[in-house]
């Protein structure tokens, strides 16, 4: 758990109520809290019926008879792509779904009608390859329009998709594809990143040597790279869709049919395949998208600057905005290419009114300097959002002062891959915000902060965040591992969902998220497990043992600090330091590269052999060392601390 949240809580007294003008037209109003308080199932059922188009309306709300395997709207039938596309076409087919901006500067404007045509053609293409309802499809792509098209096409034919972040390595693809037994893989020849091409198809080729379930690989020609295409297995996207019809009957799905699997890091080396189903997920996505972002579909240009490889992109680039008939911006590249003003030039050009990004990005903007946003007219912005990690008040205030007009509400949204949609956040026309606090649970969501025994803590104290009632877009299980689902989320406090975060509740009942309380790190708003990085390190010949902790980092929230013991014949060197960092990138992906590696003859351990990561965290954060009396090898701690200091001095 980081200290920054506690500091926020101690110091923060600023309160920013919504302006009168904003409140008077707000989509989300205070009475929603009362409605949901009276009958939370009734509230969600109303949202489900009003916001979605059902082939068969549900008569059931929540079924908790087999907890924690909850179901929502279980007798309802619908199709997600129908909700995102078909039902908008009569009145609004010409409306722009995506203003897409490519990193090299090319652009595409895609209307709802065009999106629908492309989705139908690709869905027919998938069917022609034998993909049927229930078959799993893995997707490993850059931020190109074909990515949402692929997801929607899968949802149209009832094939659950599993998007694998394009920054992950071939090994990560193998693990995820094999865990779910995916039948088909969709990729691009490459992805643009800071002017160079990330070789996505090459990574897939390496991965497919170890994924026997994959029958075909469909490849989008994005970068015109020279890639190898295996006859019979690999198919170009444009060739597959060339002769397909723009009509493809949507599969009638049960509300509880699987929509997607998205892998996220847990406390072991094996990522968890989080399962989201159809009716409840879309209800949560559409409702929170409309309320938290105050969506006015006729006038807003909305931009969630996340990657679709993470849950934020699933819910708030694809499913929420399209269900709500919103016009979005989608950008392919990084914020600093070709220069650090890229995002602001896009905001100005498309008159973006709602902008949603991560605190890490905001801290980078701060570091780069106000001259970049100051050079642009950002007056179209009327609401700002953040997600993924605690935001320090300084970054919050900078966001307010330099990006939005100062009276634009900032919504700090807490949620997880598992929750499917935003859980704790201001309602922008109702909630007075405090910099650094995600404020309160949304209508229909019940959150509490409890002590180790599960008792609610009094206002003004800290403890563990819990969600005390089921909600429609909750995960249904971990793919293939119901037991892990129960033990990870539902065992610490029986009957209550445990997200793994620490939190404080202040005198006004505002929630302050303090960070993870387990061995999961949060790097730039992305979850990485210490165990995953440790097992990547020990898979290198030179490494005997490794321990990894999240060290506090001004820019990325946390940074990966590794402590490594080498095998007998290996000697530490700068080259080996680099080699090990790159080895982790090869095993997992560049985001998991340790920032620092300290070589040590031993790791601090208890007498029973358990590594004391707490002490390594103290060392990484330059804190006074905690209690070492329970250690079997207390002397090693000071030796590591000295080495860390020497390494820092060298840098
Ligand atoms: O620790 C919390 C942090 O991110 C974790 C969820 O990570 P992930 O599943 O990758 O989803 C990220 C995007 C939804 C949480 O357990 N987190 C997320 N949002 C916030 C946050 N911490 C503080 N404030 C937030 N707004």
DSSP secondary structure of 400-436: HHHTS-TTS-EEEEB--TTT-S--B---TTTPPB-TT
* Cα of 623 from ligand 1 centre, angstroms: 25
Q: DSSP letter string over 1-14?
A: --SHHHHHHHH---
Specify the pLDDT at position 104.
97
Rounded-to-integer distance, Cα 274 and Cα 421, Å: 13
Rounded-to-integer distance, Cα 143 and Cα 331, Å: 7
Q: Where would I find the beta strands (DSSP E) of 136-209?
A: 137-140, 161-163, 184-188, 191-193, 196-198
The candidate with the shortest Cα–Cα distance to 456, out of 441, 442, 466, 445, is 466
Q: How many helices, marked H, and strands, marked E, lie in the chain?
A: 23, 29
- β pairing state of 71-72 and 62-63: antiparallel
Rounded-to-integer distance, Cα 475 and Cα 456, Å: 24
* Cα of 53 from ligand 1 centre, angstroms: 30
Spatial strand order in the sheet of 184-188: 234-236, 216-220, 184-188, 137-140, 161-163, 258-264, 272-277
Residue 559: CA count within 13 A, CB half-sphere: 13
- Ligand 1, pocket residues at CB < 6 Å: 264, 311-312, 387-390, 412-417, 438, 499-501, 513, 515-516, 522, 526-527
The radius of gyration of the chain from alpha carbons, rounded to an integer in Å, stands at: 24
Mean pLDDT of the chain: 95
* Cα of 599 from ligand 1 centre, angstroms: 31
- Residue 201: both structure tokens together: 């198809």
Q: DSSP letter string over 349-409?
A: HHT--EEEE-HHHHHHHHHH-THHHHTS--TT--EEEEESSPPPHHHHHHHHHHTS-TTS-
Q: Cis link prior to 550 (omega < 30° from 0)? A: no
The candidate with the shortest Cα–Cα distance to 550, out of 584, 596, 602, 506, is 596
- Rounded to 10 degrees, the C-alpha dihedral 56/61/65/71 comes to 60
* Cα of 515 from ligand 1 centre, angstroms: 8
Nearest CA to ligand 1 atom 8: 416
Question: Which residue in the block uniquely carries the two structure tokens 């990143």?
Answer: 193
DSSP 606: B
Nearest CA to ligand 1 atom 22: 389
Specify the pLDDT at position 2.
41
**Cβ count within 10 A of residue 648:** 11
CA atoms 615, 585, 260, 525: torsion sign: positive
Ligand 1 atom showing the smallest separation from residue 500 Cα: 16
Where residue 130 falls (left for φ over 0; alpha for ψ -120 to 50; beta otherwise) is left
Q: Alpha carbon 253 to chain centroid distance?
A: 25
Specify the pLDDT at position 124.
98
For residue 200, give the 3-state DSSP assignment: helix
Specify the pLDDT at position 609.
78
* Cα of 77 from ligand 1 centre, angstroms: 31
Specify the pLDDT at position 1.
41
Nearest CA to ligand 1 atom 21: 389
pTM summary value:
0.94
Would you say 276 and 476 are in contact if contact means Cβ atoms under 8 Å apart? Answer: yes
Rounded-to-integer distance, Cα 620 and Cα 640, Å: 10
- Rounded to 10 degrees, the C-alpha dihedral 209/271/524/540 comes to -60
* Cα of 387 from ligand 1 centre, angstroms: 7
What domains appear along the chain, each with residue ranges and CATH number? 540-650 (3.30.300.30)
- Rounded to 10 degrees, the C-alpha dihedral 332/334/337/342 comes to 80
Specify the pLDDT at position 463.
95
Ligand 1 atom showing the smallest separation from residue 417 Cα: 9
Ligand 1 atom showing the smallest separation from residue 520 Cα: 1
- β pairing state of 107-111 and 96-101: antiparallel
Specify the pLDDT at position 266.
84
Nearest CA to ligand 1 atom 24: 390
For 17, phi and psi rounded to 5 degrees?
A: -70, 155
Specify the pLDDT at position 11.
60
Rounded-to-integer distance, Cα 76 and Cα 387, Å: 31
* Cα of 414 from ligand 1 centre, angstroms: 6
Would you say 625 and 641 are in contact if contact means Cβ atoms under 8 Å apart? Answer: yes
Ligand 1 atom showing the smallest separation from residue 391 Cα: 24
pLDDT less than 70: residues of the chain: 1-11
**Cβ count within 10 A of residue 74:** 18
Specify the pLDDT at position 4.
42
Nearest CA to ligand 1 atom 4: 388
* Cα of 500 from ligand 1 centre, angstroms: 10
CA distances to 144, 384, 502 from 17, in Å = 38, 15, 26
Ligand 1 atom showing the smallest separation from residue 527 Cα: 10
Specify the pLDDT at position 10.
54
Residue spans of alpha helices (H) in 429-524: 482-489
For residue 71, give the 3-state DSSP assignment: strand
Q: How many residues does the chain have?
A: 651
Ligand 1 atom showing the smallest separation from residue 422 Cα: 14
Would you say 251 and 157 are in contact if contact means Cβ atoms under 8 Å apart? Answer: yes
- Residue 234: both structure tokens together: 């690999």
Specify the pLDDT at position 6.
45
Q: What is the pLDDT of residues 608-623, one digit of tens each?
A: 778 888 899 999 998 8
Ligand 1 atom showing the smallest separation from residue 499 Cα: 16
Query: Which helix or strand (DSSP H or E) is residue 154 part of?
Result: helix 146-157
* Cα of 85 from ligand 1 centre, angstroms: 29
* Cα of 438 from ligand 1 centre, angstroms: 11
Nearest CA to ligand 1 atom 26: 414
* Cα of 189 from ligand 1 centre, angstroms: 31
């Amino acid at each position: 758990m980081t200290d920054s949240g506690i500091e926020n809580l101690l110091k923060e007294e600023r309160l920013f109520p919504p302006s009168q003008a904003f409140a008077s037209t707000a989509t989300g109003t205070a009475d929603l809290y009362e409605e949901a308080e009276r009958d939370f199932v009734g509230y969600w059922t109303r949202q489900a019926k009003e916001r979605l188009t059902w082939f068969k309306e549900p008569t059931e709300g929540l079924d908790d008879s087999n907890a924690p395997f909850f179901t929502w709207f279980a007798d309802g039938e619908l199709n997600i792509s129908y909700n995102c596309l078909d039902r908008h076409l009569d009145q609004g087919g010409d409306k722009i779904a995506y203003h897409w901006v490519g990193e090299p500067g090319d652009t595409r404007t895609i209307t709802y009608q065009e999106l629908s045509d492309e989705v139908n053609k690709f869905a027919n293409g998938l069917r022609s390859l034998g993909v049927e309802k229930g078959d799993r499809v893995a997707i490993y792509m850059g931020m190109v329009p074909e990515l949402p098209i692929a997801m929607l096409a899968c949802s149209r034919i009832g094939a659950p998709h599993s998007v694998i972040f394009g920054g992950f390595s071939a090994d990560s693809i193998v693990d995820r594809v094999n865990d779910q037994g995916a039948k088909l893989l969709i990729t691009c020849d490459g992805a643009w990143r800071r002017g160079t091409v990330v070789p996505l198809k090459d990574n897939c080729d390496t991965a497919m040597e170890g994924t026997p379930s994959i029958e075909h690989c469909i490849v989008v020609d994005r970068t015109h790279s020279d890639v190898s295409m295996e006859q019979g297995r690999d198919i170009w996207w444009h060739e597959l869709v060339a002769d397909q019809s723009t009509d493809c009957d949507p599969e009638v799905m049960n509300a509880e049919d699987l929509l997607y699997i998205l892998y996220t890091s847990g406390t072991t080396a094996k990522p968890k395949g989080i399962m989201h189903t159809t009716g409840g997920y879309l209800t949560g996505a559409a409702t929170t998208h409309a309320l938290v972002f105050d969506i006015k579909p006729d006038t807003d240009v909305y931009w969630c600057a996340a990657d679709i490889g993470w849950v934020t992109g699933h819910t708030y680039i694809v499913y929420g905005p399209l269900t709500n008939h919103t016009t979005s911006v989608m950008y392919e590249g990084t914020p600093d290419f070709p220069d650090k003003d890229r995002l602001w030039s896009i905001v100005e050009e498309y008159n973006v009114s709602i902008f949603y990004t991560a605190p890490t990005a905001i801290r980078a903007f701060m570091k780069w300097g106000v001259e970049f946003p100051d050079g642009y007219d950002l007056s179209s912005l009327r609401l700002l959002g953040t997600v993924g990690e605690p935001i320090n008040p300084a970054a919050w205030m900078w966001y307010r002062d330099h990006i939005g007009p100062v009276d634009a509400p900032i919504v700090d949204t807490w949620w997880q891959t598992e929750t499917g949609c935003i859980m704790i956040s201001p309602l922008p026309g109702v909630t007075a915000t405090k910099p650094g606090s995600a404020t309160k649970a949304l209508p229909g969501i019940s959150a509490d902060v409890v002590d180790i025994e599960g008792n609610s803590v009094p206002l003004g104290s800290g403890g563990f965040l819990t969600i005390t009632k089921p909600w429609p877009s909750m995960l249904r299980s971990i793919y293939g591992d119901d037991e892990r689902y129960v033990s990870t989320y539902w065992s610490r406090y029986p009957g209550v969902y445990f997200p793994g975060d620490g939190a404080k509740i202040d005198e006004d009942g505002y929630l302050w998220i303090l960070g993870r309380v387990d061995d999961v790190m949060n790097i730039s708003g992305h979850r990485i497990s210490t165990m995953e990085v440790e097992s990547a390190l020990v898979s290198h010949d030179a490494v005997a043992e490794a321990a990894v902790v999240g060290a506090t980092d001004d820019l990325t929230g946390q940074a990966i600090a590794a402590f490594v013991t080498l095998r007998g014949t290996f000697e530490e060197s700068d080259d080996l330091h680099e080699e090990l960092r790159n080895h982790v990138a090869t095993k997992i992906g560049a985001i998991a590269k340790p920032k620092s590696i300290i070589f040590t003859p031993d790791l601090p351990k208890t007498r029973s052999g358990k590594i004391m990561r707490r002490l390594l965290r103290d060392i990484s954060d330059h804190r006074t060392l905690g209690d070492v009396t329970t250690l079997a090898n207390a002397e090693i701690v000071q030796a590591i601390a000295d080495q860390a200091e020497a390494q820092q001095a060298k840098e």
